[in-house]
C-alpha cells in the first residue's frame, strides 16, 4: 500500500518524489505480529528501514489530545525517547550524505 501511494504521487503531483526511509511505529514487543511485520518490512525494503523503532506507547497516543508533541508532553516516556533517537539517526544519516 505504501508503494502504491508513492507511485500515485509520482504519477500526479510530484514525479521527483523519493522515499528517504521507512519508520516502524506502534511496535509492541509483547506481540509476535510486530516482530514478524518488522522482519518482513526489513527483508523487503532493506536499508530504507531506519534502525530506530517507535514503540506502542500510551503517552504518544495521549499527546495530540493535549495539543502537544510527545516530546513536550512526556519527554521521558519510551515513545519520546524513541523519536529523539530517530532524529539523531536521521541527523547522522544526513551528515554522512553531505
Calpha distance 38→24 (Å, rounded): 7
Residues, the chain: 98
pLDDT at residue 55, as a whole number: 97
Structural domain of 38: 21-97
The proportion of the chain whose per-residue pLDDT surpasses 90, expressed as a percent, equals 78
pLDDT at residue 71, as a whole number: 96
13 is a domain residue: no
Q: Domains in the chain: how many in total?
A: 1
pLDDT lower than 70: segments of the chain = none
pLDDT at residue 19, as a whole number: 85
- pTM for the whole thing? 0.85
85 is a domain residue: yes
76 is a domain residue: yes
Residue position matching grid coordinates 502537544: 68
84 is a domain residue: yes
Amino acid at each position: 500500500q505504501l508503494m502504491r501511494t508513492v507511485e500515485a504521487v509520482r504519477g500526479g503531483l510530484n514525479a521527483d518524489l523519493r522515499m528517504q526511509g521507512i519508520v516502524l511505529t506502534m511496535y509492541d514487543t509483547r506481540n509476535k505480529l510486530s516482530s514478524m511485520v518488522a522482519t518482513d518490512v526489513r527483508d523487503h525494503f532493506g536499508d530504507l528501514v531506519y534502525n530506530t523503532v517507535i514503540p506502542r506507547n500510551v503517552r504518544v497516543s495521549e499527546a495530540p489530545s493535549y495539543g502537544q508533541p510527545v516530546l513536550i508532553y512526556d519527554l521521558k516516556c519510551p515513545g519520546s525517547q524513541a523519536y529523539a533517537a530517530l532524529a539523531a539517526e536521521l541527523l547522522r544519516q544526513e551528515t554522512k550524505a553531505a
